[in-house]
Structures are given as C-alpha cells and as structure tokens.
C-alpha cells in the first residue's frame, strides 16, 4: 500500500511489512513499535494513525539533554550545518529533517536519541565484568569486542580501559554458524598471534575479542563476521543443551576387538607397536569394500587390523571420527 498525503510528508509513503521500533516522523515524535508507513527516500517512519490524522503537537524548541548538560540543545529543521558531519553524536545515524543541535559545541542529536537516549552507565555481564560509562563525544577508538575502529560515543571501563561500540554490547555469548561444525563462544581476548578469521579469512587482532571453538583450538572468527545475517541465524545458545554431534566411531566387541564405523564388514583386532605405514604402502581391502586408506600419525604406533586378513588398518581410535584419512 502506497500513499501520498502532503500534509504528513512530501514523498510517497509505503506500509512497511516488518515490525520495527521507530520514532514517528509526524509531529507526535513518539517512539513506536509495529508496522509503520515509511518514506524510503528520507528513511523516516510514521505511525499509521499519524499518517491519516496528523498531530498538531510540536516538539520542544529547546531541551536539556543528559549527554550534553553544559548547554541546551535547540530544535533545528532542514539540512544540518555545513561544519557538522551530519550525523547523530550518539548513534552515528544520518540526521533527518528534525534534530537538536548545539552550535557552540557542534553537538547534534537525532530525535530518537533525544527521546530514547542510551544509558549513561550500565553493568552488563554479557559485555564486560565492570561498570561501563558512556562517552558522548567524537573520539577515535578500537572496539575491544570486535577489533574494529569507531569514531564516536563508545562505552568505557575506567577500571581497565576497555572500550566497546554501542552495537557490540549485545553480542551473543554462544552461537552456531553455517561455516563450522561446532558451536563457537565469545571470548574477550583471542590471545593467539596470527589468528585468521574462519569466515572472511583475514587476519584478526589477537588483543581484541572474537569467537573461538572449544573443540578446535585454532578456529577463530571476527565478532562481526560471526554475527552476519548470512552466517548466523540469530539464535543465542548460551544455556541451551548441546546435541551430541558425534557418534562413537566404534563398538567394542570384546577385549582388543572392535567394529569401526569405516569398516563395518569385519571386526578389527588390536596390534600393539605396529609399524606405521608410509603413503607409498597403501593397503586395500581384498574384497574391494573401501578406498585405500593411509594411517594418520597420532602419536602412537598401535593399530587395529582387520581380523579377516584384508589388510585394513586403523590407529587406536579416538572418541571421535577422523582417526583415518582417505587418500584416494
């Protein structure tokens, strides 16, 4: 549904089909949650009722805001001043038609941050162990949670110098991505030099946070890469029981005899201090039931040998699959 109501807005308005939180661009200036009418040219949203019955309420001409207590902020309309960067000091979004501004300090806030400002202090154990303080100013910094640069209004821990983007405060603790077989967990410091991101394959700042796999010691992912919409389904798994991902790779038949998942036709018997075959000494099952396999060095010379004499061997098995390697 597309509307043209000049009294409300000078562009076409389309009914947005996703439920979002927004600040109404009509004169009510209230925060709404739902399915608004939206101008895609101006990126401004409106309550449905405000589109059909425009409010006559007007925003205050001046406000005293907690993020800029030294001066009042004055209501402005139209384009922001040329000397400003045209963005809200707190959230960094582009300024809309209406905004509040301090010309003495070149300090600008959009309507959303005036009506719904971020808290001045917070203690969120998901983000950090200590109390965080908002710094409402332009200041270049590196976010300790994601390793990326920021240019404004981070949260700071005075106790340990930790700094974080506002949008990194709610990074999930445990997630499952479509790029790795195991769950990965958020860590405050990677601590491994020359780490490579498992998603973008770029270098990672080992002094900052990211995600790591508890089962695969060398697997790491950037915070922003791990939480991309095409990588993660948005589900937080902290506290959710993990399904068993691996079946036992073998069944014990009797002492020193097993049935391995990769060679279920015959039982395998333990041979102690066997000679590890080199790649040129590949062995085939005489019944041609499998591809040739090569033993993978796992720090032991013990192996299980097919009791039927087909020359199929595996190392003493671990509790997960992968003790043999297909070399075909």
In the predicted structure, residue 265 carries a pLDDT above the cut 90: no
Calpha distance 149→164 (Å, rounded): 10
**Of 229 and 47, the one with more pLDDT:** 229
In this structure, the number of other CB atoms found within 10 A of the CB of residue 147 comes to 20
User: Interior CA angle at 151 toward 79 and 128, to 5°?
Assistant: 130
Banded model confidence at residue 262, pLDDT cuts 50, 70, 90:
low
* DSSP H helical ranges for the chain: 48-52, 111-115, 223-226
pLDDT at 324 over 50: no
pLDDT in the model for residue 54: 53
**Which residues sit opposite 268 in a β-bridge?**
258, 306
Q: Say yes or no to pLDDT of 57 above 60.
A: no
Dihedral sign, Cα of residue 131, residue 162, residue 21, residue 231? negative
Confidence bin at 272 (pLDDT 50/70/90): low
* CA pair distance 115, 99, nearest whole angstrom: 11
Reply yes or no on whether the pLDDT at 30 is more than 60. Answer: yes
172-192 average pLDDT score: 92
Mapped onto helix, strand or coil, the DSSP state of residue 19 is: coil
Predicted local confidence at residue 283, as pLDDT: 40
Identify the residue with better confidence: 193 or 283: 193
Identify the band that residue 25 occupies on the pLDDT scale cut at 50, 70 and 90: confident
The one-character DSSP state at 67 is G
Q: C-alpha angle with apex 304: 303 to 308, nearest 5 degrees?
A: 140
What's the DSSP call for residue 227? T
Q: What pLDDT score does 199 carry?
A: 93
Rounded-to-10 torsion of CA 15, 17, 18, 20: 10
Question: What pLDDT does residue 175 have?
Answer: 96
> According to DSSP H, which parts of 23-176 are helical?
48-52, 111-115
Residue 248 banded pLDDT, cuts 50, 70, 90:
low
Partners of 39 in beta bridges: 44
Each as own residue / partner, the long-range contacts of residues 118-127 (CB below 8 Å, 24 or more positions apart, any chain) are 118/90, 118/91, 118/153, 118/166, 120/66, 120/67, 122/155, 122/169, 124/169, 126/169, 126/170, 126/171, 126/173, 127/155, 127/164, 127/168, 127/169, 127/170, 127/171
Tens of pLDDT, residues 121-176:
998 678 888 999 999 999 899 999 999 999 999 999 999 999 999 999 989 999 99
Give CA–CA dist 112/21, Å, rounded.
10
**Taking a C-beta distance cutoff of 8 angstroms, is the pair 100, 134 a contact?**
no
The encoded tokens of residue 156 equal 């700071």
β-pair partners for 32: 22
Instruction: Round to whole Å and give the CA distance between 176 and 255.
Output: 39
User: Burial level of 89, CB count in 10 A (0-12/13-18/19+)?
Assistant: buried
Q: Is the pLDDT of residue 318 over 50?
A: no
Percent of all residues in the chain with a pLDDT value above 70, rounded to a whole number: 73
Average pLDDT of the segment spanning 301-309: 59
Which pLDDT value is given to residue 169? 92
Task: Name, of 48-52, 275-279, 283-287, the range with top average pLDDT.
Answer: 48-52
Q: How confident is the model at residue 233, as a pLDDT?
A: 93
| 196-227 tens-digit pLDDT | 999 999 999 999 999 999 988 889 999 999 99
On the question of pLDDT at 236 being above 50, the answer is yes
- What digits encode the pLDDT tens for the residues 89-107? 999 988 877 899 999 999 9
Q: Is 85 exposed, middle or buried (0-12, 13-18, 19+ CB in 10 A)?
A: middle
pLDDT confidence band for 282 (50 / 70 / 90): very low
């Amino acid at each position: 549904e597309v509307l043209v109501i000049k009294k409300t807005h000078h562009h076409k308005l389309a009914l947005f089909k996703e439920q979002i939180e927004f600040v109404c661009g009509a004169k009510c200036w209230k925060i709404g949650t739902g399915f608004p009418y939206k101008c895609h040219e101006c990126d401004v949203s409106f309550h449905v009722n405000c589109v059909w019955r425009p409010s006559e309420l007007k925003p205050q001409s001046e406000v005293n805001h907690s993020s800029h207590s030294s001066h009042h902020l004055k209501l402005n309309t139209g384009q922001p001043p040329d000397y400003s960067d045209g963005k809200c000091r707190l959230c960094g979004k582009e300024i809309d038609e209406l905004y509040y501004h301090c010309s003495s300090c070149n300090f600008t806030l959009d309507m959303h941050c005036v009506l719904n400002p971020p808290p001045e202090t917070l203690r969120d154990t998901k983000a950090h162990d200590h109390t965080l303080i908002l710094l409402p100013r332009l200041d270049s910094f590196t976010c300790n949670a994601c390793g990326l640069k920021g240019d404004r209004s981070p949260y700071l821990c005075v106790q340990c110098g930790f700094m974080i983007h506002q949008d990194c405060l709610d990074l999930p603790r445990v997630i499952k991505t479509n790029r790795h077989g195991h769950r990965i967990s958020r860590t405050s410091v990677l601590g491994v030099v020359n780490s490579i991101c498992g998603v973008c394959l770029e270098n990672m700042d080992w002094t900052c946070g990211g995600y790591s796999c508890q089962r695969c010691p060398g697997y790491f992912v950037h915070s922003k890469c791990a939480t991309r919409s095409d990588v993660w389904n948005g589900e937080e798994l902290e506290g959710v029981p993990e399904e068993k991902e691996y079946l036992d790779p073998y069944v014990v038949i009797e002492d020193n005899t097993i049935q391995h998942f990769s060679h279920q036709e015959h039982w395998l018997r333990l041979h102690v201090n066997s000679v590890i075959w080199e790649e040129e000494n590949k062995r085939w099952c005489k019944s041609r039931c499998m591809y040739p396999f090569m033993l993978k060095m796992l720090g032991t010379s013990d192996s299980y040998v097919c009791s039927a004499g087909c020359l199929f061997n595996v190392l003493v098995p671990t509790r997960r699959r992968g003790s043999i390697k297909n070399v075909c």
